[in-house]
Amino acid sequence: MPEKISATRPPVVTILGHVDHGKTSLLDRIRHADVAAGEIGGITQTIGAYQIEHKGKKITFIDTPGHAAFSAMRRRGGQAADVAVLVIAADDSVMPQTIESIEHIKSAGIPFAVAVNKVDLPGVNPDRVKTDLASNGVYVEGYGGNIPLVNISAKTGAGVDDLLEIILLLAELEELKDNSSEVPASALVIESSLHPQIGPLATLLVKQGIFKKNDNLFLVKKNIGKIRSMVDFKGKTLLEASPSVPFQVVGLSDVPGVGDIITNIISPVGAGLIPPVLPLAASIYTSEKPTILLKADVQGSLEAILGSIADQANIISATVGNITDTDIQTALAAGAEILGFNVRIGSNVAKLAEMEKVRFTNFRIIYQLFDYLKDVQEKKTIAQGPKIIETGQATVLKVFNFKGTIVYGCLVTSGKIKLGDAVQTAKVSSLQVGKASVDEVKKDQEFGLVLAPPIDLKAGDIMSATAIEP
DSSP sequence for 280-347: PPPPPP-TTS-EEEEEESBHHHHHHHHHHHTTTSEEEEEEESSB-HHHHHHHHHHTPEEEEES--B-H
Give the mean model confidence (pLDDT) for residues 310-319: 84
Amino acid residing at 86: L
Instruction: From 336, 275, 282, select the one nearest 311 (Cα to Cα).
Output: 282
Domain ranges of the chain: 12-174, 186-263, 291-383, 388-468
Give pLDDT, residue 417: 93
Q: What is the pLDDT of residue 283?
A: 41
Q: What percent of the chain has pLDDT over 70?
A: 84
The more confident residue out of 431 and 273 is 431
- Mean pLDDT score of the chain, rounded to an integer? 82
**Confidence band, pLDDT 50/70/90 cuts, at residue 34:** low
State yes or no: pLDDT of 1 exceeds 80. no
Residue 360: burial class (beta carbons within 10 Å; 0-12, 13-18, 19+): buried
Q: Which pLDDT band holds residue 65 (cuts at 50, 70, 90)?
A: low
The answer to whether 34 touches 27, Cβ cutoff 8 Å, is no
What pLDDT was estimated at residue 42? 59
Q: What is the pLDDT of residues 343-357, one digit of tens each?
A: 888 878 888 888 888
Note the pLDDT of residue 72. 58
pLDDT of residue 449: 92
pLDDT attached to residue 414: 87
pLDDT score, position 85? 95
Look at 16 and 387; give whichever has higher pLDDT: 16
Task: Tell me the average pLDDT across 315-338.
Answer: 85
Contact 152, 116 (CB under 8 A): yes
Check whether domain 12-174 has CATH 3.40.50.300, yes or no = yes
φ, ψ at 187 (rounded to 5°): -145, 155
On the CB side of 157, CA atoms within 13 Å amount to 7
Residue 246 has pLDDT above 50, yes or no: yes
**CA 275 to CA 72: how far, in whole Å?**
12
Residue 290: name the closest of 242, 239, 247, 338 by CA: 338
Residue 216, pLDDT score: 93
Phi, psi dihedral angles at 30 (to 5 degrees): -65, -40
Which residues in 253-284 are b (16+ Cβ under 10 Å) and which e? eebbbbbbbbbbbeeebbeeebeebeeeeebe
Dump pLDDT digits (tens) for 99-146: 988 988 887 788 999 999 999 999 898 889 999 999 999 999 988 899
Q: Quick one: which of 69, 77, 86 has its CA closest to 26?
A: 86
Q: Identical fold at 12-174 and 291-383?
A: yes
For 432-466, what is each residue's pLDDT tens digit?
A: 998 899 999 999 999 999 998 888 888 888 888 88
Q: 268 falls in which pLDDT band (50, 70, 90)?
A: very low
Res 129: pLDDT? 94
Q: pLDDT category, 36, cuts 50, 70, 90?
A: low
User: Over the stretch 403-425, which tens digit does the pLDDT of each residue have?
Assistant: 888 999 999 988 899 998 888 76
pLDDT tens digit sequence for 270-304: 333 333 333 333 344 445 678 899 999 888 888 88
Instruction: Give ∠ CA 340-343-347 in degrees, rounded to 5.
Output: 100
388-468 maps to CATH 3.60.130.10: no
Does 3.40.50.360 match the CATH number of domain 186-263?
A: no
**Residue 402 banded pLDDT, cuts 50, 70, 90:** confident
Query: Residue 230 and residue 238: Cα distance in Å, rounded?
Result: 5
> Which superfamily does 291-383 belong to?
Translation initiation factor IF- 2, domain 3 (3.40.50.10050)
Would you state the pLDDT for residue 80? Answer: 78
Q: Residue 340: name the closest of 380, 369, 376 by CA.
A: 369
Cα 356 to Cα 141, 293, 332, 347, distances in angstroms: 64, 15, 7, 14
